[in-house]
A and B are shown apart, each in its own frame.
Chain A
Amino acid sequence: MSDASAPVVHQHAAPSKFIWKYVFSTDHKVIGKQYYGLALVSVFIGMMLSWLMRFHLVWTNAAIPGLQLLSKNGAPGGVMTPEYYLSLLTMHGTLMVFFVLTNAPFAGFGNYFLPIQIGAEDMAFPRFNMMSFWVTLVGFLVLIAAFFIPDGPPISGWTAYAPLSAVGKDAGPGLAWGQNLWAISIGLFCVGQLLGSLNFIATTLDLRTKGMTLSRLPISTWAWFITSCIGLLAFAVLLPACVLLILDRVAGTSFFIPAGLVISDHLQPHSGGSPLLWQHLFWFFGHPEVYIAIVPAIGIVSHILMASMRKPLLSVKVVYGSMITIGFLSYMVWGHHMFLSGMNPFSALVFSFPTLIITIPATIITMIWIGSIYGANLRFHTPSLFSLGFISVFVAGGVSGFFLAQPSLDIYLHGTYFVVGHFHFVMGVAAIFGILAGSYFWFPKMTGRMMNDTWGKVHFWFTFIGVYCIFMPFHYLGFAGNVRRYSSFVDDYLQPLLPVHKFITIAALITGAAQFIFLFNLIYSRFKGAPASDNPWDATSLEWSTTSPPPFDNFGGRHMVVRHGPNEYGVNGAHGDFIMQDSPEPEPAGD
């Protein structure tokens, strides 16, 4: 497969000491696994927080055994206070959006596979890469520390709207040091992501092996590259926002806090700041963040689907173009999160238009997927099931976006569970399905062992049916006027909706429990799974041309030479109906 005449590129030995090999490693594969591990820890913490919240919503006065140990003030006797509900809401959102949906599909899989897929030995800046993970890890620890300080986690939500997030302890629990920790954590996270994005871009531009032209990049690499461009500009705006927020909180400046603000009978010593400014800065990051989570998942799912369908997508280039268009438009739509903010109503119209436009490339990608699957001889293994599940939830969540893009409808729906259902489907669950598809697909390459496919399918069906049982009723609740962010539903008009909430809570408990099947499968298969061949899926990209798991330098000293595109499926190749990218065989006739 390799070019024997090419020079051996690997000149530095693999570290032998544990600390340099597995902890402070500059190897992109170890860093990818570290990001993935951090996302795994975060997702289970975030999921358990959602269990606690769902339990409290329907059994408001019931004690949750042991919760008082987590927070004496927030849950006296194990019964959650309304404020502590908001604290858990903040932590759930922050963990999930930043440390799961950004870390796993982009930083995790991207770090592991981008260099291999382009035939490189490592990232362009390996030490920056290591730094990016460790800064992110410190950010995670700083965030989690908020659970263990007397003040507790902040109550301002993952969006940390000012002035609530900016004024300090007068405004409620968690808004003294809890909010400081949040802002520092997210600031650190931004630094980590900027370093990561820089690495991804420079690596893709400069370290491609011989023959790996841009048009021969696998679609997953395209997705990570586009995401790193989006992330570079988005996190570069959130970081200044965090700096301004921290200064307002600790240095007495007035960037976000208006004059004459009285909280808890205490006139705040600030003047002239603009709470709306925080929202603009935050959502300028916040909307592209949706695509930072979803574009890698689009790439991963497209990559897996082609290997499962045994044929290329109808038009891969149109998918590339659509992803780039989505990335570009993602910077023009942030105002649709602010229709209710008091922003000029004419601005709402301006933001509504590109919001509707951005659905076009997303729809094109979906149509290409569905059109490509039609008539394909699909291999139904766990990765392909999760890829199909991704398409389903992406469409289910995307359709409700049409409603919310229109200011007149959004004004009614924005403060309700409709929005919660929308973003959980289209961003949260869809990206999670992409992560799970990628996990089952690339686990053999990362560990040299297969995950159990039967348990994978059991996991899929519990998860797929479960997420619909949880999030589809949210839309109904929203139409019925069920407000979000409330910790209990004591108003008369909300009482009839409680049975729906009970159904959702039970579904959430079962679906959450099903994730332990995945966790068990992951851990068990790591040690006891069936040995994986180098290319168990008959796939074409370069990661399948090396051993499972790959050696320290990725290709065992071989200098890879690429001769084919990444989507050579359904052809007469030497080894079956595919041709690997580095295969010396000629292009098939008529191709």
Chain B
Amino acid sequence: MSSTALQPGQGSQSPAPALSGIWVAVAAITMSFAAFTSSLIIRQASDDWRHLVLPGILYLNTVIILASSVTLEVARKRISDLAAMRSWLYFTLGLGVAFLAGQAFAWHQLRAQGLYLASSPNSSFFYLLTALHALHVIGGLMGLAYTIRRATSVAVWRVATIEATAVYWHFLAALWVYLLLVLRTRL
């Protein structure tokens, strides 16, 4: 988000729009996933619903994305130490990539069981929700990469960028935990 925000002195004297923009985006994404959840609840009521057992790697992925939130917070705390902050951001980026790889492996495991997008309503929702979450994670990784690139910019802008990225990244971690519960539980 922050990449397109006005720079300080370009109209706004503070980089606040980046943070506001992220919060607004979080609201919109939450609403979208609420719509998907409503659809899932309605779809679960039909006779053809077969609850599937989720691949075990998803729990490891959950640990990874939660860990990435922690490492991002550590980076945020080290904002005055550029080298340390960058290292922790790279670590977070790596964990994000590992999370995506883990999700891809989960899809591979489901395909090996003969479960595809259209095989059952449950598998439809599984692929759909995890794919959409993964797309948002890719957006988050781009945000992290941008934050690393902007690490040497003026302090006020560096703080704004990392804060906006952190809000989005923590939201993605929370969203994943929510999705895992929704997919795992018959509501």
Contacts and interface: CB of A to CB of B under 8 A. Distances in A.
A189 interface: no
A276 B38 CA distance: 12
Nearest to A235: B28
Given A233-B31, A277-B39, A201 B24 contact: yes
B20 A240 contact: no
A125 B32 contact: no
Majority-rule SS of A interface residues: helix
A332 to B, nearest CB: 15
A462 interface: no
Given A124-B6, A254-B124, A273-B43, A232 B28 contact: yes
Given A198-B25, A254-B124, A274-B42, A239 B32 contact: yes
Given A207-B17, A272-B49, A280 B38 contact: yes
Interface stretch (A245-253, A394-402, A564-572): A245-253
Interface stretch (B7-15, B82-90, B145-153, B172-180): B7-15
Interface in A238-277: 239-241, 243-244, 247, 251-255, 259, 271-274, 276-277
Interface string B97-134: 00000000000000000000110010010001000100
A273 B29 CA distance: 24
A194 B32 CA distance: 11
Given A240-B32, A251-B117, A281-B35, A274 B46 contact: yes
Interface string A262-306: 000000000111101100110010000000000000000000000
Interface in B126-168: 128, 132
B31 A237 contact: yes
B17 A233 contact: no
| Interface-central residue, B4, B25, B36, by most chain A CB under 10 Å | B4
A202 B17 contact: yes
A143 B36 CA distance: 25
B88 to A, nearest CB: 27
B47 A233 contact: no
Contact of B35 (A10, A199, A206, A240): A240
A12 B39 CA distance: 47
A446 interface: no
B27 interface: yes
Given A124-B20, A251-B117, A9 B9 contact: yes
Contacts of A12: 10
| Interface-central residue, B6, B38, B39, by most chain A CB under 10 Å | B6
A125 B5 contact: yes
Contacts of B42: 274, 276-277, 280
A248 to B, nearest CB: 9
Nearest to A199: B21
A194 B24 CA distance: 10
Contacts of B13: 9
A44 to B, nearest CB: 32
Contact of A126 (B4, B9, B36, B46): B4
A273 B128 CA distance: 16
A83 interface: no
B32 A281 contact: no
A122 B11 contact: yes
A377 interface: no
A416 interface: no
A313 B31 CA distance: 35
B1 interface: yes
B32 A124 contact: no
Given A125-B5, A253-B118, A244 B39 contact: yes
A158 interface: no
B135 to A, nearest CB: 11
B16 interface: yes
Contacts of A206: 12, 14, 16-17, 20
Contacts of A122: 6, 10-11
Contacts of B47: 259, 272
Contacts of A272: 43, 46-49, 121
Interface in B42-79: 42-43, 46-49
A121 B27 contact: no
A203 interface: yes
B11 A9 contact: yes
A272 B36 CA distance: 17
B20 A205 contact: yes
A198 B21 contact: yes
Interface in A195-215: 197-199, 201-203, 205-207
Contacts of A203: 17
Nearest to B2: A125
A14 interface: no
Given A124-B6, A254-B124, A236 B43 contact: no
A233 B28 contact: yes
Contact of B28 (A124, A194, A276): A194
Given A240-B36, A272-B49, A207 B25 contact: no
B32 A237 contact: yes
Contacts of A72: none
Contacts of B14: 206
A201 B23 CA distance: 10
Given A240-B39, A241-B35, A124 B9 contact: no
Contacts of A281: 35, 38-39
Contacts of A9: 9-11, 13
B28 A125 contact: no
A127 interface: yes
A236 B29 CA distance: 7
Contacts of A252: 117-118
Nearest to A239: B32
Contacts of B124: 247, 253-255
Interface of B: 1, 3-6, 9-14, 16-17, 20-21, 24-25, 27-29, 31-32, 34-36, 38-39, 42-43, 46-49, 117-118, 121, 124, 128, 132
Given A271-B48, A272-B47, A273-B43, 7 more contacts: A9-B10, A11-B9, A207-B11, A232-B28, A233-B31, A255-B39, A273-B121
27 contacts: A9-B10, A11-B10, A122-B6, A124-B6, A124-B20, A126-B6, A197-B28, A201-B24, A203-B17, A239-B32, A247-B124, A247-B128, A251-B117, A252-B117, A252-B118, A253-B118, A253-B121, A254-B121, A255-B43, A255-B124, A259-B48, A271-B48, A272-B48, A274-B43, A276-B42, A277-B42, A281-B39
Question: Across chains A and B, which 8 residue pairs bring their CB atoms closest together, nearest first?
Answer: A121-B11, A124-B17, A272-B48, A252-B118, A272-B46, A236-B31, A127-B4, A240-B35
